[in-house]
Structure 1
Amino acid sequence: MVDLPPKYTPEVLNKPAEYGCLSKLEGTWVNHNPTNDGTRWGLHTTCMPSPGSNSETIPGKFHFLCENYTEELTFSLVQGGVRNRAGTNEQFNGAVKYDQSIQDLTGRGLHEENGMYLWLDDIYNHPADDESIKTDIGFPEMAAGDGSNGPTFVPGYSISRSGTIPHGSTVQMFGKNSEVTDGTPPPFPHGTAAWDFDHLAISKSMGGAGTTPSTPINLDAPAPDWVFDTSLPTQDPSGNKTYTQRILEHELYPYSVRPDLRLRDAIAGQNIKDYTLIELSTTEENGPQGGILNNPIVQKYVPVTQMKLRLWIQTIEEDGEEFMQLQYEQIQFFQFHYGTDGGTTRWPHIQINTLKKKV
């Protein structure tokens, strides 16, 4: 049986907001890369409809873009809990605003976004009383004390995020947080284990670069020879290898294929004392769902259909001093055109970065 949450009283309105682990985000985070270390820049991979193509008659022609970027990401706490009244249950959200600005390494703007993270775990039980019965005309259906035994709302998630970008998409994501305090770093794969379509810039519906479960590509080794075969577009123009060849032959390989390997390499050798992991998604197997709204042209031609996020807030010890570091992997799926087999094609758009909190 679910325990009842604390009873609501007017004093709750004067309590400071609860932000949970989101309070660690407060401040401004930036790329810190005085030695121009390649692992210390952000990176994105983006598949876009090829010029002259359309979603009705031309299958799956795409332009691939992968580049480094620099970023400023600012979080600010909204003072006071934000009250959601739901009758017997009341929820007070701890709101954290964010503003994100991303430029390429020449200073050209790439991405702007703003929104909020919400801490959702602050729940109260609010039963009826004589005053509410009188004011809200609850009699004769209700009596003082109704709701004191529930039902109790149990949040399925501890965190939500809403965000808006000027392309015309608005996102709502839900998820949870976990804590690691034993000094172990975030786990990332190596070798063929890194060939995991959940994190690749190549989806299965893009042909999977011609791999099978028994023939993954080792992303810690040089790219396979066929990647540099210039005859492929002529000899096998519709082949799976040809289709994704440009992603594997990119100068930023292997990060052009699996961007979060740059996060792995950025923390190699660091002393990570502890970290918080936040995992959010627009879709879940069951329970409440998030979602994405797109403006008309995006919805018609390049709809964003799913988004997921992993974000690590890390305490780093270096030369006897501590500083805060933030890493994230954000994956969106576009769904434009169709494959040569007529099926739906999903195009991953991935962003990763390693940021240091300003002091």
Structure 2
Amino acid sequence: MENKIGTGEKKKDMSKEDFAILWKTIHLKVTDTYDVPPEILWVNGSTIGTLGNFSASTGKAKSKKTFNISAIVAAALKNDEVLQYSACLPENKRKILYIDTEQSKYHCHKVMERICRLADIPTDKDNKDFIFIVLREYTPTMRKLIIDYMLKNMEDIGLVIIDGIRDLMYDINSPSESSELINLFMKWSGEYNLHIHTVLHLNKGDDNTRGHIGTELNNKAETVLQITKSSQDVNISEVKAMHIRDKDFEPFAFRINDDALPEVVKDYAFERSKQERGFSLTELTEQQHRQALEKAFGTLVIEGYTNVIKALKDGYASIGFTRGKNVLVNLNTFLKNKRMIVKEGRGYKYNPNFHY
């Protein structure tokens, strides 16, 4: 089978011999055994990164995304905690590959120095576990070829940073190119047993990730972090989970200190979102949610959006939480994001194993 990085697959009939080789990798048997993917990155105790997967950071321009990435890399270099990130890379996976696709070498060098300072390692000598490459001048196709070659020929890489994913493609709104690139991320992370963390901007007009590639990221990434400028203080950035497979973590905020390094803002009060202002989640305990959802769904799978909203209305009314349609629509979104209700077939059901 032929394949070229970034140019799509060439159509070719599959031979019996080719399929026999492929079959060994795609056939799953109940008698097979697999190790749990090693967890390597955490925020406040919640897992955001495992080997064999990929994650992302997103935010608007000037939200301090690169400062946040610097803290993640520094934690991985130290195998310790930096900002609110903790890392533990296995001994045979201690190398970190940082790929920048848009900044000049001067600005990349500043980022590299900052990471070393955060990790408490010298800035006057190179570190064998920290490889930084600059791909600004190359085409998207060439960038992917370079990354592919390095991953194939470098040993002991545990974490790869790609800042940013947009520069690995020609059209961020192309469904086929987006799907191909995400498949490449899954191939790289799985085949070389490493974790990839990438960066993508948010749309200027809303809080959605840019283009079709943003949709693919949200659907396939293990975690998507959102970095936002504080509405209370422009010098402060907030970090929240936009999507996360593990339990949600407590958001945190950071500022840039006098040493030009990110530091946690202690006792920072987060402004409640519109959704939270519409109905106060602080008034509802985990037990109240469980009681309402058991009443609304029981063990049933409820099909149809209108039926789900009606079930939520009746269930939450049973605990004294009576609200209008707009709040119930927001509640439905909240419950799905928290995986308190989950899709099954053509409908939704109550998931009692949620983390609140």
Normalization by structure 1: what TM-score? Answer: 0.22
Report which of the two has the higher share of helix: 2
Structure with larger RCO (C-alpha < 8 A, sep 6+): 1
Between structure 1 and structure 2, the one with the greater Rg is 1
Report which of the two has the higher share of strand: 1
Normalization by structure 2: what TM-score? Answer: 0.22
